[in-house]
Amino acid sequence: GDSVTQMEGPVTLSEEAFLTINCTYTATGYPSLFWYVQYPGEGLQLLLKATKADDKGSNKGFEATYRKETTSFHLEKGSVQVSDSAVYFCALGGGTSYGKLTFGQGTILTVHP
Amino acid sequence: NAGVTQTPKFQVLKTGQSMTLQCAQDMNHEYMSWYRQDPGMGLRLIHYSVGAGITDQGEVPNGYNVSRSTTEDFPLRLLSAAPSQTSVYFCASSRRVGSNNEQFFGPGTRLTVL
């Protein structure tokens, strides 16, 4: 079945540091890939998405590229801010799994001033 | 649009009690789903629906029932609550066509079973 693996957390960074959160997946068919963010006490918001190989999703300074050859969708940001502190989830959907998403375990990011 | 709404926001139950978590969406989305969020485990799918009258089990369906009588509503029923069902529950919806499976989430219900 489909699965998503995220890097172990939590991740703690200083403001303006470079961020990478690794995400790899296993899926049949041609899934779409997503990064969702959950700020403290809130629900999940879509951060960015990519729907086919080599697509790059971007939003709020975050980027991720759909790499079919390495089955990866790593999240990056060049300079993090304190306000980026949140839980980040990698997810896949579509392919053979319409109407539902398969999530990674989530990565807690804390950014200190 | 209100998007996806969930009630209640918080609930405390005793073991063996039953209750229904409500979920509604006003976007005319065909697909709706329920997830539970537990520390270190991400979100796991409980049940989902691809349209009114059609439901199917997800990864962790035991102890939960669903039905979908309208496009807008997708309630989740706990038949006899157990401490293992202490979790945060999220409802989500998406369009069948043209969405690339992007899902919209409600604010969640935090459930504690004593």
If chain A, 113 residues long, is cut into consecutive pieces of 10 residues, what is the mean pLDDT of each piece? Answer: 87 97 91 93 92 94 96 97 96 77 93 96
| pLDDT-derived band at B11, boundaries 50, 70, 90 | very high
**Residues in chain A within 8 Å Cβ distance of B45:** 100-102
Q: Nearest by CB to B108, which of A43, A89, A94?
A: A43
Residues 6+ apart with CB under 8 A from A75: A19, A20, A21, A23, A35, A47, A62, A63, A64, A88, A90
Quote the CA–CA distance of B96 and A53 in Å, as a whole number: 21
Query: What's the gap between Cα A109 and its chain centre?
Result: 12
Q: Given an 8 Å threshold on Cβ–Cβ distance, is B50 in contact with A98?
A: yes
The pLDDT score that the predictor gives to residue A97 is 64
The pLDDT score that the predictor gives to residue B108 is 95
Q: Is B103 on the interface with A (CB under 8 A)?
A: yes
Q: Which of residues 35-54 of B touch A (CB under 8 A)?
A: 35, 40-45, 48-50
For A30, other C-beta atoms within 10 Å of its C-beta total: 12
Interface test with B, best of A7, A101, A107 (most B CBs within 10 A): A101
Q: Mean pLDDT over all residues of chain B?
A: 93
Q: Are B47 and B64 in contact (CB under 8 A)?
A: yes
**Residues in chain B within 8 Å Cβ distance of A86:** none
Tokens 């229904």 sit on residue: B20
The pLDDT score that the predictor gives to residue A7 is 81
The mean per-residue pLDDT over the stretch B12-37 comes to 96
The mean per-residue pLDDT over the stretch B81-88 comes to 96
Question: Which among B79, B74, B82 is positioned nearest to B111, based on CA atoms?
Answer: B82
